[in-house]
Each structure stands twice: as structure tokens, then as C-alpha cells.
Structure 1
Amino acid sequence: MLRDERLKIIYDEKRWRLLNQLRAEAIELMDALNSMHIFSIVHGSIARGDVTEKSDIDIFIPDVIPSFLVETALERAGISISERILVQATPTYSIKAYIGIDERRSVSFPLSKLRKTEREFYKFGGEATLEMLRRGVRVPGVDKRLMLIEPTEDGHIESSILGREGEVAKLLGISIETVLDRVRTLTRRDKIGRTGLFIERRLASNETFELVLKELAERNPAVRRRLRTV
């Protein structure tokens, strides 16, 4: 696609049904969290609207909160947890808790403070709150192909962000640094593939995220440094 080319996509009835179904599932998870006064967002294609059969329901809590509150909120709503994983993408990234519900649905939240670019990552891809989902709001955002998705009444318009990073940053209300960081990351991933996580630690049923993080910090200087910085 040429730099200035804009492609108009019109959704068929099947795609609208899929979007409504996925959003209903996202609302169920976010409602459960909201019942414990936990603010959350859904990000990616469900927020933008350009869903496919492969779309995941990724719920993110942007605040550092006790993990037991999240787990309790889900359990009270009758939502079973299939796995809990402590992850850190690189030594400089925030350490996060990942709670898998099933193959498609997950809830994650930071165990250490997010840097500005980390928080804006979700806005880059498009994020929506519970209230926005209830109102049927779709938001602009960038997909993994580095295509800007701009919702329209009957679908969306997509266009490449390459060479338009400043314009896209302004449109999404984020810093140019975040856009450039995502371009570098996704371009590199496209060339060499996805690299492994710096830390990926599955929790046993009797472990908590906080205890495992404490143990990791005691053994790993990089983890200790990240916990001290923002």
C-alpha cells in the first residue's frame, strides 16, 4: 500500500455479529472487575472494531493493585482462572501479572509502575473503557501491520502509518516516541520474528504474584532495578 493510500473496508453482517459477541464477552470480564471498583480497558481490535475470528479479548488494568482483588473479582463472578503467569518482556519493561481465562480471554495488570510509553502502548493499538463498550463506541488505533484503523459508520478506513508517525501520534493523543518505539518493535518482529520474554514464570495454585515477584527480585538484580525505576 502506498503511503497516502486509504482503503475503505465495509463490514458484513457476520463481522458485526462477531464484534458484538466479543464485546459482550469483554463486558462480562470488565463488569466483574468493576464490581470491585477496578478500572480496566479492552485494547486492540475489539476497541477498534476490526475483529476477526482470531481476535483475542485482552483486558488490561492500568494501575498497580493487589492481585488478590483481581482474582477475587473474577471468582465472585463465576469466571474460572486457567493460568497465572508473571511476565516481563525485557529488563526495562514493567513486570506484569497475566491471568488466563481460556485460549481467547485474559486479564493483565502491572506489578510495577508503567513508563509513559508502556501506558501509551494501549492507546496506540486502541483502547476502550467499559462505558465506551456499552455505548458501542469504536476508537482509532494501529494494528500489528502498522495500519491505522479509523472506524466509520459501516466499517473502517485503513492506511499505513509509515512516514506519518507525527500525524498518527497527534490523532491518537500519544507521544511521537511511543509511535516510533512501536514502529521499531513491530518492524523488527516482522523481520526476525517474535523474541522470547525476559521473564515468564507460571504460578502454582498456592503462590501469589507478589510473593513470586519478591523472590525474583531477591535473586535477579535486573528485576530489583526495574522495581526502583519508572
Structure 2
Amino acid sequence: MPSIPSESTRFRAHGEFVDILRDRSDVLHRLRRLACRATSVDAALSGHGVRLPSHDSSLLELLAVAGRRRRLLVDTQFARSELMAGDAVTRPRRVRVHEHSLRRMLIFDDRCAILPLDQAGWDAGAVLLRAPLAGPCGQLFDFLWSEARPLTDDLRCDAGLSDRQLEVVYLLLQGATDQQVADRIGVSSRTVRSMVSTLQRRFGTSSRMALGFRLARAVTSGSEQH
């Protein structure tokens, strides 16, 4: 007859795949450790149920430098927040906007996933799942990512951008340099800088990523008014 695992054996197995992070400080400490080692980071953040910008600003700062491949998925409420136009989002990162409220999650290298215990924020702590338990979180993120739209979708009609301006903004949001943008659209890097400067003055922004988010907020705000 097979032996029944002892209580201590079951507890060790539980701890091998699941950790409970007690509070916001514990969550941020573990996130920093994972971010230092990760090569890919996927994050879903929501503007529902939190007092922006205090709750997720530290997460955005962390995501700005974590890993070589970063994807950020936000809902429309989060995309419209002033938090998205701050310094924490000035570094290149792939960003998409989902039309429905999201469940917050962060996934590192498809092997670790962190989800808050309370969807209103991170103060109540979080649960950390390791592979194979983290797998469904990655699959859910990929599905939501496929449903979401890039920040630059529909900017042509809502923000009054020309095809050339739209292409410049899109390339910059993907992390392209001025020279890479210039080579792609067949103009000089000086022309690219001039176009970006014109757009920043028009929309009142001081950074290129902030420009993209400002345009995205214009789109989502306009769609809600129709």
C-alpha cells in the first residue's frame, strides 16, 4: 500500500510552488529580485479599484528597466491616468490597451507569476506561483494581449494625425531611435526630431512615451463620449 505523505511533506511541496507575500513592501522586494534576473516580463495593470498614482507607480518604475523583453497591458482607465505620462514610462516597452477591466498580474520568464490577494491593490500582499502553476497565468496574458490594441490604433482619425506622423509615433513607442525611424520612413533624423517636437508642442508633452500615452487617452476619452 502506498504511503500517505506526512503533513510536513505536503507543506514543503506547497512551498515549492506557492509563496505568500505578506504586504506591499514584501511584494516590491520580491519583484525587484525577480526583475534583476528575468529576461522577459509581462505585466497587466488596471485602473479600477485603486487610488492612482500611488499604488502602481513603483511597479511601472520597476518594469521600465526589467528584462530585455517587456510587455505592458493596461485597461482604458489606467491608460488615461496621469501616471502613464510620467517619467516611469519613458523607456521603450510594448504597450497595449484592453477595453475591459483587467486582473493585475506580473509574469517573469513564463516561470513565476505574482497576483495581488486583493484586486483593489497590493497592500494586502500577493501570491507567487512558480511553474507549472504559473503557466495558466501566462496563457491568460497572451490571450488578453491578442485581444488588446496597440496604443496607436485609431489615432489617425481621433487625434488628427497624418499617416507619416502616425508611423513616427508608432515606431518611437516600439523603441526605435531617431535614426531607425528616419531610415524606415526615408527622411533625415533631423526631420524626425522636428516632427516629434511639433507633436509634443501640439499635445503638451515633454517625452516621447508621454506623447504616445497622451494620444491614447485622447482616443479612449473620445470613444466614451460617442
* TM-score past 0.5 threshold: no
Q: TM-score, normalised by structure 2?
A: 0.29
Structure showing greater relative contact order (alpha-carbon pairs closer than 8 Å, 6 or more residues apart) = 1
Larger helix proportion of the pair: 2
